[in-house]
Amino acid sequence: MLLSKVLGVIVIARNGDRSSFYQDPFTYAASDTSTTALGEVESHALGCHIRSTYFDSSSPSYIEGIRSDLVDNNEVKVRVKAGVEGTVVFDSAIALLQGLFPPTPKNKIVLANETTVVAPLGGYQYVPVETVEPGNDRSLESWTNCPSFDKHIKQFYTSTDFKAKAQDAVPFFRGVRDYVFGRPATLENAWNIFDYINSELTHNKTFAHRLPPTFLEQARHWANYHENGVFSDAEITGVGNIAGRTLLHTILSSLERISFNGDPLQFMLVETTYHAFISFFHQTGIIVEHPEVAGIPEFASAIAIELRRGSPPDVRDFLRIKFKNGTRSDFKDVHVFGHHADIPLTEFIYRAENAAINSNKQWMEVCGIKSSATLDFLGVPSPTDNFIPYILACLALGGLLFSTVKFMRKRRAEQRRLRLQGEERTFVPVMDQKIRLV
């Protein structure tokens, strides 16, 4: 398969660096956070790397036939998670796109008077971005407001393994208590402890000088254990994999478009948070062959799913999956479903399609939401709510058609009326006239 050609690529990217924020360990409801200049630089660097890998015709992974001098919006699609960490994810996507499609003087237009106008900022390229709001589309944030997932978290916390690990972690959490300023130092809160320490070490010089050696590594270890347990399940269809299951819908539908010769799509970017990475690694069996990728990926990490056409005699379509952990590493092959090489597209679809959550209605069923009243309580619209805009549009269209018919009938009546030469005047009785004050 080394001679295979790349037909298209799906990139799943994590946001760049941000200020620390809090996630409720039982519901994953979170506080606000903000992007940092470091995060924007990390995402921009990722965009540059993706460009050199897939949009450079001299690269062995060049996407065959894709336009690289100027973005073709028919060939490129971008979806951005707009829920928890939404502003950070959006900013990271824009920074990545700036690296992927840098300003170029070719982004210009020649007017009728032969004046050449170059886009602002030296030919900045504006790429449309689709923000995915969890209130309308649960595909990029499926784990919040999900009762079944909340139950899964509680079951993990009461498991024998978790209780044993909590005992093992007591010395660390007892020692770190003085450095987290009142935050609960428990295994249930491991992610928040790690995120706070990691953020302070990056941005707070005084904190960096005070924190004892190995505390960051220990915090990461326990956070990795925690997040692996929360965002995974024994079965690919388990609710613990819900973050990956909704992501699979986007992956499979995009692969269908890329593989279809009549569809111009060749590159898909999904900008999201770390949660879906963990589930995807577990449900596809990547961590079995590559245990080093288990846990929380670094900022600006990326998964690249390449659709490749095999060389003769086997000209089937295959998937080659790569992972890049942060800005310091390069893309490395990772293998799914027990394969040690590229996997046939048909086999990947066969193994993954039954686990995919394809609609808000199916998400409701998986989460155990049985009525619209429950949805209202959770602040999530029911599937029927999605039809309201269409109903309103139909009513508006009906009103427009009615007004048009009424107007045409009036015009036809006027045309049938005898018209005399000269200006028409309308007689207004004096008694009906109103006095106007100027």
Task: For residues 392 and 257, state if they share a domain.
Answer: no
Residue 155, domain member (yes or no): no
Residue 242, domain member (yes or no): yes
Residue 423, domain member (yes or no): no
Alpha-carbon 182 to chain mean position? 33
Distance in angstroms (rounded) separating the CA atoms of residues 367 and 375: 11
Distance in angstroms (rounded) separating the CA atoms of residues 211 and 189: 19
Task: For residues 134 and 283, state if they share a domain.
Answer: yes
pLDDT category of residue 148 using cuts at 50, 70 and 90? very high
Count of domains for the chain:
3
Residue 182 has pLDDT above 70, yes or no: yes
Q: Is the dihedral of CA 410, 414, 415, 416 positive or negative?
A: positive
Residue 154, domain member (yes or no): no
Alpha-carbon 296 to chain mean position? 17
Task: For residues 212 and 352, state if they share a domain.
Answer: no
* Model pLDDT for residues 7-20, shown as the tens digit of each residue: 999 999 999 999 98
Task: For residues 20 and 121, state if they share a domain.
Answer: yes
What mean pLDDT do residues 41-65 have? 97
Residue 64 has pLDDT above 80, yes or no: yes
CATH of the domain at 271: 3.40.50.1240
Backbone angles phi, psi at 264, to 5 degrees: -75, -10
Domain stop point among 183, 201, 230: 230
Domain containing 20 equals 5-143+238-357
Residue 220 identity (one-letter amino acid): R
Task: For residues 43 and 130, state if they share a domain.
Answer: yes
Distance in angstroms (rounded) separating the CA atoms of residues 218 and 176: 10
Residue 400 has pLDDT above 90, yes or no: no
Residues of the chain above pLDDT 70, percent: 84
The pair of structure tokens assigned to 123 is 């030919």
Average pLDDT of the chain, as a whole number: 88
Residue 412, domain member (yes or no): no
pLDDT score for 403 = 52
pLDDT score for 370 = 87
What's the number of CA atoms in the CB half-sphere (13 Å) around residue 234?
2
Task: For residues 271 and 223, state if they share a domain.
Answer: no
DSSP category for residue 418: -
Task: For residues 41 and 80, state if they share a domain.
Answer: yes
pLDDT category of residue 312 using cuts at 50, 70 and 90? confident
Residue 411, domain member (yes or no): no
Task: For residues 109 and 133, state if they share a domain.
Answer: yes
Domain stop point among 210, 230, 250: 230
Task: For residues 26 and 130, state if they share a domain.
Answer: yes
Task: For residues 335 and 396, state if they share a domain.
Answer: no
pLDDT score for 419 = 38
Domain stop point among 187, 207, 230: 230
Residue 92, domain member (yes or no): yes
Task: For residues 275 and 390, state if they share a domain.
Answer: no
Residue 387, domain member (yes or no): yes
* Model pLDDT for residues 323-340, shown as the tens digit of each residue: 999 998 899 999 999 998
Place of tokens 């295994």: 187
pLDDT score for 357 = 97
Task: For residues 28 and 70, state if they share a domain.
Answer: yes
Q: Are 96 and 48 in contact (CB under 8 A)?
A: no
